[in-house]
Amino acid sequence: MLNLLGQILIYVVPFLLVLTFIVTIHELGHFLIARAFKVKIDRFAVGFGRAIASRTDRHGTEWRLGWMPLGGYVKFSGDLDAASVPDKAGLAELRSRVIAENGPGAERDYFHFKPVWQRALITAGGPFANFVLAIAIFSAMYMALGDVVAPPRVTNVTPDSAAAAAGFQPNDLILEANGGVIRSGEDVIRIVTLSSATPVDFVVERAGQRVELVATPVRTVTQDAISGEIKVGRIGLEMGYRRDEVRFVRYNPVEAVGAAVNKTGEVLSTTLHYLGRIFTGRESGDMLNGPLGIAKAAGGISQQATAGEAPVSLKAANLGLSLVQLAAILSIGIGFINLMPIPVLDGGHLVFYAYEAVAKKPVAARVQEAGYRVGLALLACLMLFATWNDLQKLSLFKFLGGLVS
């Protein structure tokens, strides 16, 4: 029983805290822009289910804390359907009802009767808030902690590996990969792991000369302490650094924001690159995580942050910093996913609004309904695929197979 409680504290609690925080910020993005445009809002909820606590502000908005910490939501007055995009008939019915209850002109306070550009900005406010959150977190970390720049040097080349075939030698200083400047070993790992069976162009410094090398990563099954078993590209290099080449960089507020924006762009670029390789059949997609995988990652990060001999205060600070970093990465992911042009997501709503702006009328009800169902099916397939990956990496099927045999 104590072991079960320990697992819940390590895996479930950090996951729920991070997820609820990110989703709340996402919904707050919708809320703040809607409030700026004087949209009537019924409720802003953190968590789902029965309310633990609630209050109503002077604008008539209920602020609610639900007992299930699985995210949150904002409810605009007059929402008629799950997609929040009623058709022409639905708008007419809503307008008549609002006028009958509150008098002529009251409909102008409702989301659905705002100009299409305002509705689009309100809808985009959620993903935008996720990106702003990530930039704020990275900026704070750069200002508080700075950054360590340690150009990677090759310390060992595995015999008969892709790196050996490419001509890498110990003490090579890696300067570039695929045209991008390499600042650390993490840059090399990020590029190589997502380039299985695809040649990578390197530039190294050897004895004061620039040398161009081409290595093709080999897809290899590896066991990651946080993600579990995954298939990634490997070329057979071990990297280190020389102490005299390590630089500690401090950032002022402007530089920190610039570096944070670059970091956020880098995460988005890597995500798009990986998804593109999945759709072209060059990656298996086993690094796509669902809720189980994210919970496992949160637990793994928590264990790593609190491992070893150190004062409790230092472990707590390390844990907090690690979870905040995870929140930044997940916030970018949630913002990106919500911008996908799927009707049940913010991106799908933006597609509907783009049509409305051009056609001067909302999308027909039957089209919305069909899009909504297709969107749900796509999301369900994506969730099933990600959950399948999670279960594979958790070795659940091997465990069940052992029970059956």
> Active-site positions?
27
Asked if residue 41 lies in contact with residue 56, where contact means CB atoms within 8 angstroms, the answer is no
Measured between alpha carbons, how far is 107 from 32 in angstroms, rounded to an integer? 20
Question: What single-letter amino acid sits at 398?
Answer: K
Measured between alpha carbons, how far is 48 from 70 in angstroms, rounded to an integer? 7
Asked if residue 43 lies in contact with residue 35, where contact means CB atoms within 8 angstroms, the answer is no
Residues forming beta bridges with residue 209, ordered by sequence position: 206
Measured between alpha carbons, how far is 398 from 304 in angstroms, rounded to an integer? 26
Measured between alpha carbons, how far is 182 from 153 in angstroms, rounded to an integer? 11
Token pair of 362, please? 């909302």
Beta strand ranges found along 100-139 (DSSP E):
none
Element (H, E) at 209: strand 209-215
Measured between alpha carbons, how far is 218 from 329 in angstroms, rounded to an integer? 27
Which residues, in sequence order, are CB contacts of 70 under 8 Å at separation 6+?
Answer: 16, 19, 20, 47, 48
Phi, psi for 115 (deg, rounded to 5): -55, 150
Residue with token string 């949630």: 334
- Torsional sign, CA 300, 16, 343, 132: negative
Number of H helices, E strands in the chain: 12, 12
Residues forming beta bridges with residue 62, ordered by sequence position: 43, 56
Cβ-defined contacts of 254-263 (< 8 Å, 24+): 255/142, 256/138, 256/139, 256/140, 256/142, 256/143, 257/135, 257/139, 259/138, 259/139, 259/142, 259/147, 260/134, 260/135, 260/136, 260/137, 260/138, 260/139, 260/142, 261/135, 263/138
